[in-house]
Amino acid sequence: MSTPTADSPSLAAGEAQARRLDESDPSHRHLFHVPPADGGSYSESAYLAGNSLGLQPRATRDELLADLDAWGRLGVEGHLEAERAWLPYHELLTAPAARLVGGRPAETVVMNSLTVNLHLLMVSFYRPAGARTRIVIEDAAFPSDSYAVRSQARFHGLDPDDTVVRLRPRPGEDALRTEDVTGYLAAEGDRVALVLLGGVNYLTGELLDIPAITAAGRAAGAVVGWDLAHAVGNVPLALHDWDVDFAAWCSYKYLNSGPGALAGVFAHERHLGDPNLPRFEGWWSTAAATRFEMTPVARPPATVEAWQISNPPIFAMGPVRTSLELFDAVGMSALRARSLRLTGWLEQLLDEVTADRPLSVVTPRDPARRGCQLSVRIGAGSAGELTKRLRHEYGVIADAREPDVVRFAPVPLYSTYHDCWRAASALAALVGQSTKGGSA
Ligand SMILES: *Cc1c(COP(=O)(O)O)cnc(C)c1O
């Protein structure tokens, strides 16, 4: 396989180079539905928004229809008699989800949606006491996480403005430095009850040093949880070995399981079966063998399934199962290797684009400190307007985070070098025009 760096990219010669690289380092695009282009001269869009909503695997529809047919054929008997019986259906997702996050099967379960799961986990793991009340998040946390932790503080009768600490990058910098996070925890850690950070930041694309920050938080006596919405399926994870207390993620971004797809949860083995941890319970919290004994008191298993509450939506699990099978087949380490090549190539093209335009890449330049996404800050105009023009004039789908960030995520499963070239050259064309028109 030729390596991308053997071809030094340039926008002008880029299309031919991109085609060569797509032959020597192919994607699994054929396994996905790629939306048709809304503009420009190619039939398919250059889809670089998989960080927001992943593409639909071609296999998903048939798998979903098979589950639907089982209901039609079997009615209530499908709970036990469907080919993939509904009662234990979620167990089919456990092992592949555990492999993806580096958890043990007893530590991993697919259920609910992300922010709901964060709340259920905080019921157990955010237990302010005495002077130890603070929750540490990043200042650029996704708003849902920020709302969630603030509401948890209020739930405990605390003032969220005093309780939630938002860590900011140093002045003039876009990414958090690991030593600033661990430094805060060393200095103030005895006031911290919970650290809850995004593994990969949704805005900047920065991958935090999860093991180092987890170790620092735990050494300070805090509980350390991770929101892996932008990390799962994007970067290799080893939650058990990294000693993470808990984590949650969604499945509609890099996991390609469809809008609002079922989410995942990890709780470290040391917390499983602990009778002193508060938890919200329902009939799916009791051990499966006792579920139909209809007793008034739950007998939770010593696994993360104790955090389940309701019987799960079967038709929402098929798409997650299908997607996880794809990750198992391709393998996260092969995906990460291709991701490093693909994003590295886009970065070189973007360097050429940003060199003489009012644009800058805000994602860390060290590949070890990022996933596949590159975020570009635009110096003038609106990010939303720019992404609209990328889509309607060039068929390039990226996404805007107002006021001034456009995110490009070459997803190693289905994005191509040609997609990257299309994005960079469209950006060059559009921003070149707007600079002349706007600020000259
Ligand atoms: C995408 C995302 C969410 C979305 O929350 P839902 O509960 O799935 O709607 C939350 N947090 C982060 C960090 C995200 O990236």
CATH code, domain with 137: 3.40.640.10
Do 366 and 293 reside in the same domain of the chain? Answer: no
* Ligand 1 closest atom vs CA 141: 13
**Domain ends where: 306, 329, 352?**
329
* Ligand 1 closest atom vs CA 142: 13
| Burial class of residue 410 (count of CB atoms within 10 Å of its CB; 0-12, 13-18, 19+) | buried
Do 171 and 306 reside in the same domain of the chain? Answer: yes
Ligand 1 centroid from CA 139, angstroms: 15
Query: Does some domain include residue 44?
Result: no
145 lines ligand 1 (CB under 6 A): yes
The amino acid present at 168, given as its one-letter code, is R
Do 220 and 353 reside in the same domain of the chain? Answer: no
The residue among 141, 140, 152 whose CA lies nearest residue 116 is 152
Annotated binding site for pyridoxal 5'-phosphate: 114-115, 142-145, 227, 230, 252, 283, 311
Query: Does some domain include residue 3?
Result: no
- Average pLDDT in the chain: 94
Question: What is the rounded distance in angstroms from the CA atom of residue 54 to the CA atom of residue 107?
Answer: 25
* Ligand 1 closest atom vs CA 117: 7
Residue carrying the six token digits 């570009």: 376
89 lines ligand 1 (CB under 6 A): no
The residue among 8, 34, 12, 5 whose CA lies nearest residue 416 is 34
| Two tokens, residue 171 | 């002045």
201 lines ligand 1 (CB under 6 A): no
Among protein residues, the one with the nearest Cα to ligand 1's atom 1 is: 229
Residue 16 has pLDDT above 50, yes or no: yes
Residues spanned by the domain of 243: 63-329
Question: What is the rounded distance in angstroms from the CA atom of residue 101 to the CA atom of residue 264?
Answer: 10
Q: What is the helix (H) or strand (E) element at residue 150, kind and residue range?
A: helix 143-155
CATH code, domain with 338: 3.90.1150.10
| Two tokens, residue 49 | 């928004």
| Number of independent structural domains in the chain | 2
Question: What is the rounded distance in angstroms from the CA atom of residue 230 to the CA atom of residue 51?
Answer: 7
Ligand 1 centroid from CA 226, angstroms: 12
Give pLDDT tens digits for 414-434.
999 999 999 999 999 999 754
First to last CA, the chain: 46
Residue carrying the six token digits 């697919």: 110
Question: What is the rounded distance in angstroms from the CA atom of residue 168 to the CA atom of residue 170?
Answer: 6
- 8 A C-beta contact, residue 235 and residue 207: yes
Query: Does some domain include residue 113?
Result: yes
Give pLDDT tens digits for 312-370.
999 999 999 999 999 999 999 999 999 999 999 999 999 999 998 999 999 999 999 99
- Beta strands, E only, 1-106: 32-33, 46-47, 56-57
Ligand 1 centroid from CA 412, angstroms: 21
Query: Does some domain include residue 42?
Result: no
Question: What is the rounded distance in angstroms from the CA atom of residue 129 to the CA atom of residue 157?
Answer: 12
Query: Does some domain include residue 81?
Result: yes
Ligand 1 centroid from CA 46, angstroms: 24
Question: What is the rounded distance in angstroms from the CA atom of residue 350 to the CA atom of residue 347?
Answer: 5
Residue 55 has pLDDT above 50, yes or no: yes
Backbone angles phi and psi of 172, in degrees to 5: 85, -5
Helix, strand, or coil (residue 205): coil
Query: Does some domain include residue 275?
Result: yes
**Domain ends where: 284, 311, 329?**
329
Do 200 and 317 reside in the same domain of the chain? Answer: yes
pTM exceeding the 0.85 threshold for the entire prediction: yes
Do 320 and 353 reside in the same domain of the chain? Answer: no
227 lines ligand 1 (CB under 6 A): yes
Question: What is the rounded distance in angstroms from the CA atom of residue 372 to the CA atom of residue 316?
Answer: 26
- 8 A C-beta contact, residue 134 and residue 164: yes
Query: Does some domain include residue 46?
Result: no
255 lines ligand 1 (CB under 6 A): no
Give me the pLDDT at residue 437, please: 41
Candidate from 35-44, 229-238, 251-260, 336-345 with smallest mean pLDDT:
35-44
